[in-house]
């Protein structure tokens, strides 16, 4: 049991599964009181019960301002004012522009952009009165990159960058930091659910076929480690910033790798295997 979040009260949206669940578990292990907020009530309640008395579950559709009022009030009543907010809940559905109904774009903006905006608005007053806090918005590599089929998702995740920077400027004077994490390729139900777009078993890619420098899917715990750092006072001088956790995905350009580099790399890898 660590103490990096001792005394913190955290609200984690989308905390029932995937990386939100990993964040909730890591936060509790580091001494925080954690409220898991989601629309998957049964799963969220099970995770909270598993974490014990330092965790609670609340139903929250992040696109509903009324739900936010209820969730923040429940957090204050159970554990005190939230001093950490993780705007993690998100949706990702892929389709080409010509086949995507307008409602899909609106849904992505509603959950992925209006949701975090409402979250920041809803925690501002209790966080300010508590003396400050840390807000972490979960963006994506699609906050800085586009992709075919991702016009709704990437548009929404680019908007999270603007929200993060503007909120950081506005809330900094009140001791509230706002940062963004950009995960890339993390093995969660979201990726599994994207099978209709990416193929029958998107998580089964053989790492050796990846151009990704670290040659593996990210795990929810990889992201939780960065979110923990940003939630803690260790990141006290960071705000309005973007923290990439993507196995090197956005570091490379999309050209075919140079033959000389591939030849040398493979020789060294063969030597490492010997
Ligand atoms: N998995 C990846 O590769 C990846 C990469 C980059 C960014 N992200 C982002 O990370 C975050 C978490 O994604 P994940 O991969 O764990 O996905 P996930 O689908 O496994 O989990 C998302 C959670 O958000 C919840 N949620 C969805 N709509 C909601 C709403 N309206 N109100 C409240 N909760 C809602 C879901 O019920 C679920 O529990 C998302 O913002 C996602 O866009 C994921």
Q: Which is the closest atom of ligand 1 to the Cα of 187?
A: 1
C-alpha 108 to ligand 1 mean position (Å): 11
Q: Looking at ligand 1, which residue's alpha carbon is closest to its atom 21?
A: 18
**Helix segments in the chain, DSSP class H:** 18-29, 41-51, 65-78, 102-109, 115-129, 151-171, 189-193, 195-198, 220-231, 259-273
Please name the residues in contact with 230: beta carbons below 8 A apart, sequence gap of 6 or more: 134, 136, 177, 179, 181, 238, 243
| 207 pLDDT above the threshold of 60 | no
Q: What is the helix (H) or strand (E) element at residue 56, kind and residue range?
A: strand 55-59
Domain 9-273: give its CATH architecture.
3-Layer(aba) Sandwich (3.40)
Give 207 or 69, the one with higher predicted confidence: 69
What's the farthest any 2 CA atoms get from each other in the chain?
62
**Protein residue with least CA distance to atom 41, ligand 1:** 90
pLDDT at 221 over 60: yes
Q: Does position 208 have pLDDT exceeding 80, yes or no?
A: no
Q: Give pTM, 2 decimals.
A: 0.97
User: Closest Cα to atom 11, ligand 1: which residue?
Assistant: 88
Active site residues: 153
d(CA 186, CA 109): 21
Ligand 1 atom with the shortest distance to the CA of 153: 43
Report the length, in residues, of the chain.
274
Which of 90, 112, 145 to mutate to test ligand 1, by most ligand atoms within 8 A of the CB atom? Answer: 90
Whether pLDDT at 156 is above 70: yes
3-class DSSP state of 242: strand
For the chain, give the percent of residues with pLDDT over 70: 96
Give the residue whose CA is nearest to atom 39 of ligand 1: 14
Strand-pairing partners, residue 12, are 36, 86
Q: What is the pLDDT of residue 60?
A: 99
Pocket-forming residues, ligand 1, beta carbon under 6 Å: 13-14, 16-20, 38-40, 60-63, 88-92, 111, 138, 140, 183-186, 188-191
Sheet holding 55-59, edge to edge: 55-59, 33-38, 9-13, 84-87, 133-138, 176-183, 242-245
User: 40 pLDDT band (50/70/90 cuts)?
Assistant: very high
Per-residue confidence (pLDDT) for residue 209, from 0 to 100: 66
Ligand 1 centroid from CA 188, angstroms: 8
Residue nearest to atom 30 of ligand 1 (CA): 61
Helix axes 41-51, 18-29, angle to 10 degrees: 20
CA of 196 to the centre of ligand 1 (A): 17
Output the CA 81–ligand 1 centroid distance in Å. Answer: 24
Going from the Cα of 167 to the center of ligand 1, the distance in angstroms, rounded, reads 21
Tokens 């007053």 belong to 125
pLDDT surpasses 90 at 225: yes
pLDDT tens digit sequence for 83-123: 999 999 999 999 999 999 999 999 999 999 999 999 999 99
Q: For all residues of the chain together, what is the average pLDDT?
A: 95
Please report the pLDDT score of residue 205 as a whole number: 59
Residues 139-161 have a mean pLDDT of: 97
pLDDT value of position 46: 98
* Probe residue for ligand 1, chosen from 12, 15, 16, 18 as the CB with the greatest number of ligand atoms within 8 Å: 18
- The confidence score (pLDDT) of residue 240 equals 98
The protein residue whose alpha carbon is closest to atom 42 in ligand 1 is: 90
Residue ranges per structural domain of the chain? 9-273
Q: Span 171-175, mean pLDDT? A: 98
**Band of the pLDDT at 14, cuts 50, 70, 90?**
very high
């Amino acid at each position: 049991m660590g103490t990096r979040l001792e005394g913190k009260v955290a609200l984690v949206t989308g905390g029932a599964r995937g990386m939100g669940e990993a964040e909730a578990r890591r936060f509790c292990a580091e001494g925080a009181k954690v409220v898991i907020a989601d629309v998957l009530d049964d799963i969220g309640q099970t995770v909270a019960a598993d974490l014990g008395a330092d965790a609670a579950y609340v139903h929250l559709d992040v696109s509903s301002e009324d739900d936010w009022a209820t969730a923040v009030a429940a957090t204050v009543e159970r554990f005190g004012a939230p001093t950490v907010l993780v705007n993690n809940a998100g949706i990702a559905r892929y389709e080409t522009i010509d086949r995507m109904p307008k409602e899909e774009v609106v849904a992505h903006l509603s959950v992925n952009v209006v949701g975090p905006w409402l979250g920041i608005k809803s925690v501002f007053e209790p966080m300010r009165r508590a003396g400050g806090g840390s807000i972490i918005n979960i963006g994506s590599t699609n906050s800085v990159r586009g992709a075919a089929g991702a016009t709704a998702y990437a548009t929404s995740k680019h908007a999270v960058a603007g929200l993060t920077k503007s909120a950081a400027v506005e809330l900094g004077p009140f001791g509230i930091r706002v940062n963004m994490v950009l995960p890339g390729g993390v093995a969660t139900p979201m990726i599994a659910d994207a099978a209709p777009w990416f193929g029958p078993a998107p998580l089964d890619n053989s790492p050796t076929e990846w151009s990704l420098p670290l040659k593996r899917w990210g795990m929810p715990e990889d992201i939780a480690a960065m979110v923990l750092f940003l939630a803690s006072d260790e990141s006290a001088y960071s705000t309005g910033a973007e923290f990439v956790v993507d196995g090197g995905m956005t570091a490379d350009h999309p050209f075919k790798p140079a033959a000389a580099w591939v030849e040398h790399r493979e020789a060294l890898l063969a030597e490492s295997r010997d």
